[in-house]
A and B are shown apart, each in its own frame.
Chain A
Amino acid sequence: MKKLILAIALLNSFTGYAQKYMTKTGSVDFSATSSIEKIEGTDKSVACLLDAQTGALNLVIQVKSFVFEKQLMQEHFNENYMETDLYPKATFRGTLGNIKSIDFTKDGEYPTTTNGKLSIHGVTKDVQVKGKVIVKGNKPTLQASFSVLLSDYNIQIPGPVKDKISKDARISVKCALEPMK
């Protein structure tokens, strides 16, 4: 009897771990390109944790890890717009709406809608993001693209460069997840 209880406990513990997926090398692309100038940055070290049982999704982005093509653009992004010394992190905490319809053991592409709170530059807003979960070989990859209005997050664009920077930023997220240890 003791052995049976131990076996069940071990099985529960194993399945409990298998229901969480994570990565620390997720990707977020940022674009505020206007008709005048290409402004694009990428961060390839995004931490992402998905609970496949509850649908809870957490992303943590260290804003200073964004890389831009030009040094000056990178400096302006960190110092003038995102103020990364004051607000080093951007986070998303939400829930995948249709988690029960995603079969993490079956290859396929599953459309999904995620509701949650997006915190950027010290401002937190409720957002709804449409995306998809691509399952391949029991590993899910999350993909989503959405736009945010920079003024919603109190990101000010100075007058002289107002025409060079788009008022809304296009954000694309891609996280190839692995079962959590």
Chain B
Amino acid sequence: MKRKFMYALVALAIAGLGALLLRNYVNKPNKDFVNEKIDFSYSCKDLLEKTSSDTAAATQLLNHLVGVDGEVLHITQDDNALTIELGSSSSNSSVICRIDDRHLDDFKQTKVGDRISIKGEITACSAEDELGLGSTIQMNFCSINK
């Protein structure tokens, strides 16, 4: 009787632990890259030149954590989301950095014209310039590159 009770207790504990692990797995938030080491580092100009002249290089950068130094061209604040565009006013090519919601405060003082270093995961490199808008690199989960 005592043994059966122990078995039931162990089974219940395993099931509970399994449910907890599954719940944590399903509800896991997106990765925070703030303390992660970058894979590559570029100036905004070099990154745009590299990806527009070499599409294979652009593809290789996808999903990598990259640091980019550049001038802030635009800041778009929309529904608690912050997007910073790095580039040059003389060109339509630019790097679009969607700031990680967890690190919005780090960019409170950032303004257009500032030079800044941002790191983030590259999600898209569109070098084909299909709309006449120049090359575009898109990065998500961005934070300050310290």
Contacts and interface: CB of A to CB of B under 8 A. Distances in A.
Contacts, number: 80
Interface stretch (B13-21, B36-44, B107-115, B127-135): B127-135
Interface string A1-34: 0000000000000000000001011010000000
A128 interface: no
Interface string B123-146: 110100011110010101100000
Interface residues of B, number: 30
Given A24-B96, A72-B25, A64 B131 contact: no
Interface stretch (A42-50, A118-126, A146-154): A42-50
B60 interface: no
Nearest to B31: A71
Q: At the interface, is chain A mostly helix, strand, loop or mixed?
A: strand
Given A176-B76, A181-B92, A45 B138 contact: yes
12 contacts: A24-B96, A25-B85, A44-B76, A44-B98, A45-B138, A49-B131, A64-B124, A67-B30, A69-B30, A70-B29, A174-B78, A176-B76
Interface of A: 22, 24-25, 27, 42, 44-45, 47, 49, 58, 60, 62, 64-65, 67-72, 74, 88-89, 174, 176, 178, 180-181
